[in-house]
Every structure is written in C-alpha cells, then in structure tokens.
Amino acid sequence: MLLVMQARSKDRRIKWVYFILIYLGLFLCLLLRRMCVRLVTGLIKGHSLAGEQPIGIIKEENVMDINRVAKDILKHVGGKENVSDLSHCFTRLRFVLKDMSKADKEVVEHLEGVIQVVISGGQFQVVLGSKVTKVYDAMLPMVDLESGGGEGGQAEKGNVLNHVLQVISKMFTPLIPAIAASGLIKGLLTAAKLVAAGRGVDIASNDTYILLFAASQIIFYFMPVFLGYTAAKALKCNEIIAMTIGGFLCYPQLDAIIQDVSAVTRIFGIPVIKGAWTIGESTRVFSYTESVIPILLAVFVLMYLERALEKIIPQILQIILVPGISMILMVPLTLCLLGPVGIWVGNGIQTVYYALMQFNAVLGGAVVGGLWGVFVIFGAHRALLPVGLNDVAVSGKQNLLAFAGAANFSQGGAALGVMLKSRNRELKGVAASATISAVLVGITEPAIYGCNLRLKKPMICAIICGALGGGIMGLGGVYGDAFANNGVLTIFTYAAFGMTPFIFYLVGIAVSFFGAAVLTYFVGFDDIPDKGDGAAAVNRAGDKNRTGDENRAGDESRAVCENAGENEILLGSPIQGKAVPMTSVKDEVFSSEALGKGIAVIPEKGEVTAPADCTVTLIYPTLHAMGLTMDNGVELLIHVGMDTVKLEGRYFQKHVEEGAHIKKGTKIVSFDIDKIKEAGYDTVVPVIVGNTANFAEVKGLEREHADCDTPVVRIIR
C-alpha cells in the first residue's frame, strides 16, 4: 500500500487501478474465512432440526480437540515406534510405517475429524482436510523421527517406484504454499494490467508493479536454493550445504559467466559447460536460475559424498572438513557434469511435453482434466509437479495446472450437486465446505473424499466434465505464466498470453463446474441416511416421494421393539448365538467401548441378518464389517470376528447391496464359522450402537440364546 501511495503524480490513473485491485485482494483474503463460515453455517442451519446446533465441518472445527485427535491417530497407526516418517500435504497426514499391519485402518477412519484413510504408494495417508497442519504440528513432538525414522519403513524396503514418489512428494510439497502465493500475486498483477490497458495506461514500468512482480518471481528465480533445502531434508543430508550449492547456481556473476557462451571458462583446468537450446520457436541460453533438475542431481550426489566422507574422516574433524570438502568437490562437479546433465534432462522433458501438446492439445487437456482427480486419490499428481515446474523454468509458461484446474472445478461442481441433492444435513455441510475449498483455492481432497468418491456417481460426473473442460482449454491453447493452484483467486494467471486463450480457460472451468453440478444433480446418487431422522432417514437420492412407505416401515419397526415404551427401543440380535458383554471382547477398541456401546455375540450360525427394518449404509469391501441404520434412527456397526479384515473377504458372502432398504430377518452377509476359526481368528461379533451419544442410555442384554426376535440391546432416548 505504501508503494502505491508513493507513486508519482503522473501515474494517478495507475494508483486508481492498484487501489481497486489490491484492496479488493486484501479484503477478500481477510473476509474469506468469515464468509465461508457464514455460508456453510447458513446452509446447514437451513436443514437442521429445531434447537440443534449446526453440524458438520463448522461444528467439528470449533470443538475438536486437536491434541486428542493427534494422539488417537498415532495410537492406531501402531504408536510412535511404528512411524518411520511423517509428512503432510494440503489435506493429508502421510505416514511411512515400519509395519503396515500394525495400523488399524478401520478404527482410524472412524476417529473424530478423519475424512478417509488411503493406503497408497507405501504410505498410510490420513485425510483430515483443512485441519491437517494443526494435527501435524500437534503430532510431531509425539513422534521420535530422529531415532527411528528412515530406516525401517516398508516403502523403503519394498517397491522402488513408491519410494521415489515419496521422495519427490517430500521435495516439492513444502514449496506449494509459496508457489500458490506467487500465482495469486501474478494473477492480481495481470488483472491490474488488463484494467489499466483498458484505460490506456501501461503499468509495466510502474514501481509498484515492478516490485510486486519481483516478489512473485522469487520462488522461481531462487528455486535451486529452496529445492536444495527440501531435497536435502528428504534425502537426509546437510540442508545448509545444499542451499549453498543452490545459491551458488543463482549467483549473478556465475549467471553472467554461463550466459557468455563464446568465452571459455575453466575450473581446476576443467572446462565449464555452457550452451543454448531451441524448443518450438524459442531459443534460450541455459541458466541455472529457476532450474529444477540440476540442484536435485547435485543434492543426490551430495548425499553419497557426505556419507563417504563421514566414513573416512575422524568424527572430531567432520564438522569442518565434511562441509568444506563437499563444497570444494561439488562446485566443479556441478558446473562440469551434473548441472549440464540436469539442464539437458529438463530440456528433454520440455521437448517431449511440447511435442505432445503440438500433436493433440485437446486430447492432452481431456486426459489431464479428466484423470487429475484420480491421480489425487493415489497421490500420483505430485509426481507430475516437477514436469509443470520444469515447464515454467524452461519456457516461462505452463498449461499442466490449467488442465488440472478443469478437474478442480469439476470436483467442486460435483460437490455442489451433492449439496443441492442430498437430504443428509451433515453431508450437505461437508459438500458445501468442499465446494468452497475447491472453487476458491483449488484444494479438492475434501470434495473427493468427503462426498464424490464416497458416493461414486458424483466422482464419475466430475471426471466426465473435467475431461470436457480440459479439452476446451487444450483447443484454445491456454497457458499461464505462473505455476499456481487453480481457483477463483488465480484465474487471471491465465490471461497473461492474450484474451482468446483466457476466454477458452473461462469457458473450460465453467463447463467443468456447472456441468458437473447439473450432471450430479440429475444423475443422482445413493444418498446417506440422515442421523436420528427416523423413517425419513431412509432415502435414495433421485427416488420418488415415499412418505407412505416410510411411515409403514416405521410402524413395522416399532412392532419389532418388544415391550418398548415411547422412549425405549429394544433391538434384536443380528447374529444367532450367545450374547455376552462387550467388555469381554479381546480387543481394546471394542471392549473399551470407544466406538460405542452395545453387545457381543458368539455366533452359532454364520449369518448376519437385519434385526429390524433398516438401510444397509455400509458393507466393508472385505465383507467382515457393515453398518445398518434402523428406521428408528439407531445406527449399528456389526464387526464379524477379530482381525478378519486380513482374510480379504475369504469365507464371506454378500447377499444385499450397500444402500438397500431391507426388512427384518433379511440375510445381509453369510460367513463360514469353522473355516474362520481354522484360519486362527476369533469369531465373536461386536454389535455396536454407533450413535450412542444420541441416546440417554444404551445397555447390552446378556442372553444364552439370541436371534433377531430376542432383544439384546436396550436403548433409552
């Protein structure tokens, strides 16, 4: 602001432009959270029962105990002794575990604040959304990574590709906030330039523009320095020496030497390699500023050099000699070999990418726009970040994130369709928050894991519309001048190369967003029954009005509750067998009643049946666990056996589909008791009231023989 106020009087029109755009940006940033909270709260309140507090994301954010969540997650991934490495991205905690079998995915998925758990690329990934940084900061002191990290991780012993992807993620993820900030500044500057040009003013030579543009370039110009630090941290070598090598590559005098291609420069008598290259219609003399691959190669070699020096140099001298000798050796090695190789590799990647875009940009845009959300699920999108960053370093522009932006907006649009269609109040809150996150700042994990992937059909709609939007962008030759995460706040980044590509970009994101929203709304999806909403909770999105059926189901359900008063519910057993106290189960997760109160059944017959009219809300892929929502609002979690998830569905058979509304006595899953026992597993079946907190009392009733007509759980409203 001071820079704007100091502008010369002849630039008064420019000051007007800056006041409008920069103040708008500042106010938007300051009020963004407040607006989002009010919007989501309003949406949720509009669908809440009288007297209830808002639920979903806003309530969870306010009351969640971050330290307790961190402790619970750490406990159920096997404790600190099982953690080889811990990192995080925008929305996920990423664990590298020494023994993956010690982590209980089921339990972690049901912990407060956890959206989903993904096991991918040798990592145990816990999706937390916007709370991830707070949980990570709370957990970090609990984990002793200095003594145990990096040596026992399964990823490092297993698939080499998984390990490479993990290292790449560690190198580039810490840079994303600064890169996003750079993109935001460039977007505002581009918008300012367009507005000023419309008034006949060129602001490119204005002091404020120059200084802000310089600020937006820092992360890219000094990329070797920043990457030197993150790469050294990922590869466990000296971060400061790596940063020094990166700084050396950015040193102005060295840059001038490299740019002077005609002069011969030697170090220790070895010629320093210089050169130029041509990609498309542009020719550039290579420079190490803004480069990506040279510093990565240098740090990789530095890691092995340091280890070798530490073996031969006495420990008392290592603090001085190891860094000193490393620098003396790395400077000529980088200038004469590693740097040029890195430049050539980077140019090769850029040449291949350019050729692909020249061959069929529409197809490229459709593939990236359609599948980017799928890449996010598996964490593979981080392996593509170096391609985009290298593109900016080599050519000064990129379209990878433009196409990815189509995917971002389509995920947000699908989440909007879910919010408009669903009758589940909590899901509406999640979808509303996820829409805002995806559209404003391009963070799509809440949309993907919170609703789209969870409901399946919205994910398919997002993929289709993302591909359409990406194809439109490819057709229009869209490029941006910054590597910025796509959202409303950075759209002007894609106006830097003319209005025609910018219009194609706007059309692309509009098709992606509104297309996904409309398609999701009309295609529909299997809705999640609302909690505590009685018979009306049983709803399939897209079905016709079924109030009469629901009322009849409610009458039948009440008839099942034998001798139950108005405020009392008696539930029969979904398993035929002996009902015993939950505290007798030989698994602390169940016996402690951390997941809820209920009863345990020692099965006599290998069948899980509906104890009353209900909706099958969840059947775990391995068929050993399922969730039922009774028409009277009671939620049951039924877990067949202990550790039977390891059977991967063997000896189990499914008889109904997830989302089905079934009658009392309907067979849901059958299982072979004898074969499960022969495999060495306890067959006891915990029957848990998942929404125990919604009731005044939940009590298990012991029975020598129980079935769906025998009350085994007594609930007081």
Catalytic (active-site) positions? 89
In a 10 Å sphere around its CB, with 0-12 CB exposed, 13-18 middle and 19+ buried, how is residue 626 labelled? Answer: buried
**Rounded Cα–Cα distance for residues 186 and 189 (Å):** 5
Q: How far is CA 290 from CA 54, 68, 190, 229, 252, in A?
A: 48, 42, 21, 15, 13
Longest dimension (CA), the chain: 98
Among 327, 220, 339, 360, CA closest to 288 = 339
Q: Are 708 and 664 in contact (CB under 8 A)?
A: yes
CA 22 to chain centre: 30
Q: Are 233 and 316 in contact (CB under 8 A)?
A: no
Among 102, 131, 128, CA closest to 117 = 128
Pairing of the two strands 266-267 and 652-654? unpaired
**Rounded Cα–Cα distance for residues 275 and 351 (Å):** 16
Quickly list DSSP for 372-425.
Answer: HHHHHHHTTHHHHHHHHHHHHHHHS-B-HHHHHHHHHHHHHHHHHHHHHH---H
In a 10 Å sphere around its CB, with 0-12 CB exposed, 13-18 middle and 19+ buried, how is residue 499 labelled? Answer: exposed
Q: Are 401 and 483 in contact (CB under 8 A)?
A: yes
Q: What is the dihedral of CA 398, 399, 400, 402, to 10 degrees?
A: 130
Q: What is the dihedral of CA 225, 228, 230, 235, to 10 degrees?
A: -170
Q: Are 224 and 295 in contact (CB under 8 A)?
A: yes
Structure token digits, residue 427: 């899901």
Q: Are 164 and 122 in contact (CB under 8 A)?
A: no
